[in-house]
Amino acid sequence: MSFNKRSLITLAILAVIVGSAYYFFARKGITYIWHWESIPEMLVYYGSKSAEDAEPRLRMGILMIGFVLTLKISIFSIIFGIIIGTIVGIARLSNEPVTRWLSLTYVELIRNTPLLVQIYIIYFFVGALLRLSAFAAGTAALSIFAGAYVGEIVRAGIQSIHKGQMEASRSLGMSYAQAMRYIVLPQAFKRIIPPLAGQFISLVKDSSLVSVIALADLMFQGQQAVARTYHAFEIYFTVAALYLVMTFALSMATQYVERRLAISD
Amino acid sequence: MIKADHVYKTFKTTDRREVKALVDFSTHITKGEVVVIIGPSGSGKSTFLRCLNRLEEIDSGEIVIDGVDIHDKRENINKIREEIGMVFQLFNLFPHKTVLENVTLAQIVVRKRSKEQAVETARGLLKKVGILEKENVYPSQLSGGQQQRVAIARALAMHPKIMMFDEATSALDPEMIGEVLDVMKTLAREGMTMVVVTHEMGFAREVSDRVIFMDDGQIVEEGTAEHFFVNPTHERTKLFLSQIL
């Protein structure tokens, strides 16, 4: 990285902003006793859990358990989101009016209602009918939610591929499905990686909403820990950092994939 | 081999006007014949080609290729298209596939050939179009002329009975037109049935059996290339030729 005059000015402005913010809070005189020492055992600890499980060993703390569950929900929702989104994206461009209307209705219905409401509906109504666990209901809600957004991204991606690609494939005798599978979709997916990455990062963060159906994800466990210890600042900072670990890893992974796929450009 | 009779095709423009692309268009093309179609832009040349492999649906009339009515909905159009190679003005190579993959893909997924067989066929054809040394590069690294030769190899790999060229040299820099035309001439001399939309009268003169001049969706005049050079009869034809020659 090379610094020029302009970056020095930017840094100076940044320093002034951070400095005044610190001064402001210092004058307010917030006296908060930090308890960072209670955080590590919420991640990992060595010891026994209960009378039945007394053998002392390395165990996951409450936040780490939540982290793993959030990770699981996110991965499942991303996978199902891609599957639903691809189907919806193709359906949106169908020649068949009913297919087109159905997929559009789905997209509009999901995009124009709050995710929180969808989670409640799927858990309390659909979930009760089908006897879904909180995990299944939460994952279903997030997948259906992501599917609508991914569907629109996939549709835009397909439309961005020059129609000559489809024509060339068809003129070689490929069926519509073969042309989609081998020619159009691979190119479309390569092009939509950046918006997809953004969507999935949002999804990881939105997954914190499933804590409302008592699903013990990272957010839920964080709230529990705060209720028990009142160390709200430390715990929520840690929870935020753990979400950041997931979303940042996702960012890096997509950038890596994008670079790898760029070789044919 | 190709029988087009009384074909009508109308397009609707975005402002809902109707454009007649083909009007009572009829022509018969025999096996091994090389037919060149010329005419001003918008005269329906490309539309006719695209109707021949049903990239466009026709409004009425009949197109029969090898005894098969290709606009009959009951026919499997994919099967028919395997037999008709098409080369596009903008090449339309698959940018995410290497040159070799471009030529082998349809062989494998459509013709169900084994990978080894497909690669062998592809290498033979790439050698024929003079570009074998580039088999592992991506299309974006090739010049326009090279891309178009790959596109020809890709179409030939299906072993089609008919080859169609839709202004195959129009998007090329002048110095690259020759290398593509040479490949096309070789094909013509080998007896391939070809329908070629082009403005290259030199090509028409050298290898074509018949030239069709189209305007406003209809055949204005047809004959040998010599006929067009020596004594074109219609005023419209004379005007057009004076512009392109």
Contacts of residue B154 in chain A, CB cutoff 8 Å?
A: 172
Contacts for A118-122: CB closer than 8 Å, 24+ residues apart: A118/A144, A118/A145, A119/A209, A119/A210, A119/A212, A119/A213, A120/A212, A120/A213
Assign residue B16 a region: left if phi > 0, alpha if psi is -120 to 50, beta otherwise?
Answer: left
Residues 142-201 of A with CB under 8 A from B: 162, 164-165, 167-175, 178, 182-183, 186-187, 190
**Out of A63-77, B10-24, B140-154, which region has the weakest mean confidence (pLDDT)?**
B10-24
Contacts of residue A169 in chain B, CB cutoff 8 Å?
A: 94, 106
The overall average pLDDT reported for chain B is 94
Tell me the average pLDDT across B27-52: 94
Angle at which helices A134-160 and A193-206 cross, to 10°: 160
Looking at residue A239, what is its pLDDT?
A: 96
The overall average pLDDT reported for chain A is 93
Cβ within 8 Å, pair A172-B84: no
With CA atoms as reference, the chain A residue closest to B82 would be A173
Q: How many CB pairs under 8 A join A and B?
A: 69
Contacts of residue B151 in chain A, CB cutoff 8 Å?
A: 168
Summarize pLDDT for B46-63 with one digit per residue, the tens. Answer: 999 999 999 999 999 999
Summarize pLDDT for A121-157 with one digit per residue, the tens. Answer: 999 999 999 999 999 999 999 999 999 999 999 999 9
Q: How many angstroms away from the CA of B96 is the closest CA of chain A? A: 6
Contacts of residue B86 in chain A, CB cutoff 8 Å?
A: 168, 171
pLDDT band with cut points at 50, 70 and 90 for residue A265 = confident
Q: Judge whether residue A103 has pLDDT over 60.
A: yes
Express as a percent the part of chain A with pLDDT over 70. Answer: 98
The two three-digit tokens of residue A29, written as one number: 């005189």
With CA atoms as reference, the chain A residue closest to B159 would be A172
User: B55 CB near a chain A CB, below 8 Å?
Assistant: yes
Summarize pLDDT for A81-90 with one digit per residue, the tens. Answer: 999 999 999 9
Sheet holding B60-65, edge to edge: B18-29, B2-12, B60-65, B68-69
Q: Judge whether residue A1 has pLDDT over 60.
A: no
Q: How many angstroms away from the CA of A171 is the closest CA of chain B? A: 6
Residues 45-64 of A with CB under 8 A from B: none
Interface mutation target, options B81, B87, B101, B142, chain A, most CBs of A under 10 Å: B81
Find out whether B151 and A169 touch, Cβ atoms under 8 Å: no
pLDDT band with cut points at 50, 70 and 90 for residue A2 = low
Looking at residue A30, what is its pLDDT?
A: 67
pLDDT band with cut points at 50, 70 and 90 for residue A212 = very high
Q: Judge whether residue B188 has pLDDT over 80.
A: yes
Cβ within 8 Å, pair B92-A165: yes
**Out of A81-95, B93-107, B109-123, B196-210, which region has the weakest mean confidence (pLDDT)?**
B196-210
